[in-house]
Structure formats: structure tokens, C-alpha cells
Amino acid sequence: SPGMHLYAPPPPLPADPLVFGFWKVDRAICEDVAYEAIRAGYRRLDCACDYGNEVEVGRGIARAIEDGLCTRSDLFITSKLWNTYHSPEHVPLA
């Protein structure tokens, strides 16, 4: 019906339940840490705007994909929206 939104199920979780978290990973080394985590076999990555290192994590992920360590569809990346960003106008900033 008009105005009805279709639900897309989330992608399946990787078989390996291990999650690599980026809380408190220093921005100066975060790109390399992300790359090495993927190289070591991690496919579930825990991120958040509040961690302050999402750009660096993204660079490490991009490098791992470029080097053929994985594809984007191999990765399950979690991010969280901090409570102060729940207003619709703030969501894109987070």
C-alpha cells in the first residue's frame, strides 16, 4: 500500500562471535589497529561516534579491503548513536 515501508532484514552475523572493540584505541594508532584486527581474522567491529576514532577505523577498514583481506560484505560493523544525537537534525552529524 502507498506509504508503506518495506522491512529489510539485517545481514547475517559472521560465524565467529568475537568482536573487536575500538573504545579507548588512540587515534594515532587506530588505523593500523583496525587493519591488524581484520588481518588477524576479526569480522565484527564495535565502533561509536563517542569513541572519537571512527575516521581512523574507516581508513583501516578501507586499507584492508584494498589489500584484499576482506570485502565490505564480510564485515559486521556496529556503531552507536550517543543519546545527545537522537534529534533528527543531529543524526547525520553523529
* Residues labelled as active-site residues: 51
For the residues of 51-74, what is the DSSP string, one character each? Answer: GT-HHHHHHHHHHHHHTTS--GGG
Terminal CA-CA length for the chain: 33
List, in order, residues 6 or more apart from 24 with CB less than 8 Å away: 51
What are the φ and ψ backbone dihedral angles of 19, each rounded to 5 degrees? -120, 135
What CA–CA distance (Å, rounded) separates 56 from 6?
A: 33
